[in-house]
Amino acid sequence: MNIGTVASKGIAVGKVVVLDRPTLTIPKHENQDVALEKETFKEAITRSVENLTAIKAKMADHFDDEHMAIMDAHLQMLQDPEIRSQTHDLIDQGKNAAQAYETVTNTFIAMFEAMEDDYFRARAADIQDIQYRVLAHLIGTPLKDATLLDEDTLIAAHDLTPSDTATLDYRFVKGFITEVGGVTSHTAIMARALGIPALVGAKEALSKLNPGEVYVLDALEGKLIASPDEATLASYKEKAEQLLREKQRLQKFKDQVTKTRDGHALPLFANIGSPDDLALVEPHGAEGIGLYRTEFLFMNEKTMPSLQKQIDAYQKVFEAYDTVIVRTLDIGGDKNLPYLQQAKEDNPFLGLRALRLTLKERELFKTQLKALLIGGKGSPHIHIMFPMVALEQELDAAIEVLEEVKSDLDQANEPYQKNVKIGIMIEIPAAALNAERLASKVDFFSIGSNDLIQYTYAADRMNEAVGYLYQPFDATLLRLIKHVIDSAHKHNTEVGVCGEMGGDLWLALVLAGMGIDELSMQPSSILPIREALSKLDLKQLQELSERVLACHDSDSVKRTIQETLATLI
């Protein structure tokens, strides 16, 4: 059966074991003793902290410090003073402890689930894990961690939490299948860290799988094969060996500079959402960070993160790589900050978001810019990128705020990074069409292909009904990108791509031929693209791009790429 999204590539064979949690029934009665309910709540938090601390200790056998930091984040959530305060308020109003805690945490879960960004939406599952643990203690439901295994196993679950994965026996776990989640979910992150094949977002998988039956998990094509015969097993064994050989071959490119066969350099960078993601980047040989999304730092707080907290977060990333492109706060649309009291908008994706919002919230903007300048003082340079620029006036205003922050730091005799490269996201068609004038004012562009496609074709990329309009291979889009590249290069302004297009092998080669200066992507895409580039000359890539740009639709673009590469690689 075809099922789910590939989150970690590979082939695995094993018996399916379903991990299922009992449904919790939350009492609805009003509390009779406020002090007693608060004490019960305190005890549930304490027991949950003890549980997770013990589980974290077990994780040391399988995970490095960066991955165990996920458990640290959960421990912090458990003891979050804002959640505790809001829960106490509801207990004071008459709710019992379980009811109060469920209400408060559901608010945060709903906020994250409503977000478009896969990375942030995946954080809802982290809060759900914490919520379940505390509620189970509050209502007296025994918590069962994953059982010990004694044979090759495929773990299937509605979702896998950090505490689930921490207690598994990895001598026998060969693959993961979950009904929910995306490529940035906890399951996906852990699977890639462990090198375990995984399918996520496999809707209704638990109702389709037979526990105890042997399956082949094909995490290349997103398939599960029940009760495979000897011929099928032999075929997949060969595929697994081919994968291993491919991984071993690609490893020789890990520490190499990305360049074409004739020596044209094209740096391959990684996209991250927090300093914790650095552990996922290093094994894939990224040459820098092409998109550091700073939203999560703000969204994981109940109040605006302090200057020092921001400095610490940025500094960790600056210390890891010489080149780090930091996108300033991109809030709005589907991502809101409760402490900003943002007004409800009929069309938030076309409303007060990203740079438009930070120019309005000037002090928030200045604090972030100050933190970036101070946090990057030990680096050779820093790249600050403004998102959602539509007009020159917006860019001018952002640069004015940056200069004001520099002046404030000079007057305070505060050391900071003075070698600052300024860039903008090209994700609005107006900016793409006005690329030449904008390029005269900045050091670099980064094309946010996800939003550029969405806004160019007026199609919500998350809406299946108009999914056919989301066309990264469409020739019209590619010609628009070519216009941006050529316009920028007239002013020696560098151009990168940080959306999903950059990590697609075929499109990466086309973009290289179009003159792109760098590509940023999910870490796992880096080595295959580095290898492909090493087999081709720049002239061949340019000829490929010329053929593609002469096409008229998405299908002809794909056909042209396939036919051309068949003769070259």
Per-residue pLDDT at 528 exceeds 50: yes
Run of H or E including 521: strand 518-521
DSSP E strands: which ranges in 229-276? Answer: 268-272
Res 191: pLDDT? 80
**Which residue reads 């026998």 in tokens?**
172
Q: What is the secondary structure of 389-427 as a DSSP string?
A: --SHHHHHHHHHHHHHHHHHHHHTT------EEEEEEE-
- The length of the chain is 569
Res 376: pLDDT? 96
User: Which of the two residues, 499 and 526, has the higher pLDDT score?
Assistant: 526
Q: Kindly state the average pLDDT of the residues 371-394.
A: 97
pTM of the model: 0.70
Q: Kindly state the average pLDDT of the residues 390-394.
A: 97
Domains of the chain: 22-139 (1.10.274.10), 258-568 (3.20.20.60)
Res 181: pLDDT? 77
Active-site position among 67, 88, 284, 498:
498
Query: Looking at this protein, which amino acid is placed at residue 340?
Result: L
159-214 pLDDT per residue, tens: 887 667 766 777 888 999 998 877 656 677 778 767 789 998 888 888 888 888 99
Q: Is 498 a catalytic residue?
A: yes
Res 133: pLDDT? 85
453-468 pLDDT per residue, tens: 989 999 876 666 777 8
Residue 542 buriedness (CB in 10 A; 0-12 / 13-18 / 19+): middle
Q: What is the secondary structure of 446-481 as a DSSP string?
A: EE-HHHHHHHHTT--TT-GGGGGG--TT-HHHHHHH
Q: Confidence band (pLDDT; 50, 70, 90) for 333?
A: low
Per-residue pLDDT at 38 exceeds 50: yes
Q: Kindly state the average pLDDT of the residues 420-426.
A: 98
Instruction: Provide the 8-state DSSP code for 321.
Output: -
91-149 pLDDT per residue, tens: 999 999 999 999 999 988 888 777 766 666 667 777 888 898 899 889 887 665 554 56
- Say how far apart CA 460 and CA 13 lie, in whole Å: 38
Angle made by CA atoms 393, 396, 397, in degrees to the nearest 5: 85
The sheet carrying 153-157 orders its strands as: 5-8, 198-200, 173-178, 153-157, 10-19, 214-219, 223-226
Tell me if residue 374 falls in helix, strand or coil: helix
CA-CA-CA-CA torsion for 11, 525, 353, 118, nearest 10 degrees?
10
Res 372: pLDDT? 98
- Say how far apart CA 214 and CA 39 lie, in whole Å: 48
For residue 33, the tally of other CB atoms under 10 A from its CB is: 11
167-176, 471-480, 492-501: segment of lowest average pLDDT: 167-176
Res 457: pLDDT? 92
User: Which of the two residues, 418 and 53, has the higher pLDDT score?
Assistant: 418
Q: Percent of the chain, pLDDT > 70?
A: 89
Run of H or E including 486: helix 475-489
> Does residue 414 contact residue 393 with C-beta atoms inside 8 Å?
no
> Does residue 198 contact residue 191 with C-beta atoms inside 8 Å?
yes
Cα 269 from chain centroid?
A: 14
Res 203: pLDDT? 85
- Say how far apart CA 332 and CA 354 lie, in whole Å: 6
C-alpha to C-alpha distances, 345 to 115, 207, 317, 349, 350, nearest whole angstrom: 15, 39, 34, 9, 9
- Say how far apart CA 223 and CA 219 lie, in whole Å: 7
Angle subtended by helix axes 362-375 and 392-411, to nearest 10: 60
Res 182: pLDDT? 72
Q: Retrieve residue 141's tokens.
A: 């439901």
C-alpha to C-alpha distances, 499 to 493, 518, 520, 553, nearest whole angstrom: 19, 12, 7, 21
Average predicted confidence (pLDDT) for the chain: 87
Q: Retrieve residue 137's tokens.
A: 């203690």
Q: Percent of the chain, pLDDT > 90?
A: 53
Res 353: pLDDT? 84
End-to-end alpha-carbon separation of the chain, Å? 32
C-alpha to C-alpha distances, 266 to 512, 531, 538, nearest whole angstrom: 8, 12, 10
Residue 187 makes CB contacts below 8 A (sequence gap 6+) with 7, 159, 160, 165, 176, 178, 181, 198, 200
**Which residue reads 């707080």 in tokens?**
301
Res 335: pLDDT? 60
Residue 331 makes CB contacts below 8 A (sequence gap 6+) with 295, 298, 299, 337, 340, 342, 353, 354, 357, 358
Res 147: pLDDT? 46
**Which residue reads 């928030």 in tokens?**
364
Res 244: pLDDT? 83
Q: Kindly state the average pLDDT of the residues 310-323.
A: 95
Res 193: pLDDT? 65
Helices (H) and strands (E) in the chain, counts: 24, 15
Q: Retrieve residue 265's tokens.
A: 């350099």
- Say how far apart CA 294 and CA 304 lie, in whole Å: 13
User: Which of the two residues, 350 and 148, has the higher pLDDT score?
Assistant: 350
Res 212: pLDDT? 87
> Does residue 7 contact residue 199 with C-beta atoms inside 8 Å?
yes
For residue 463, the tally of other CB atoms under 10 A from its CB is: 11
Active-site position among 186, 284, 383, 551:
186
Please count the CA atoms within 13 angstroms of the CA of 335 that sit on its side-chain side.
21
280-310 pLDDT per residue, tens: 788 899 999 999 999 878 876 667 889 999 9
Res 516: pLDDT? 98
250-286 pLDDT per residue, tens: 999 999 999 999 999 999 999 988 887 888 788 899 9
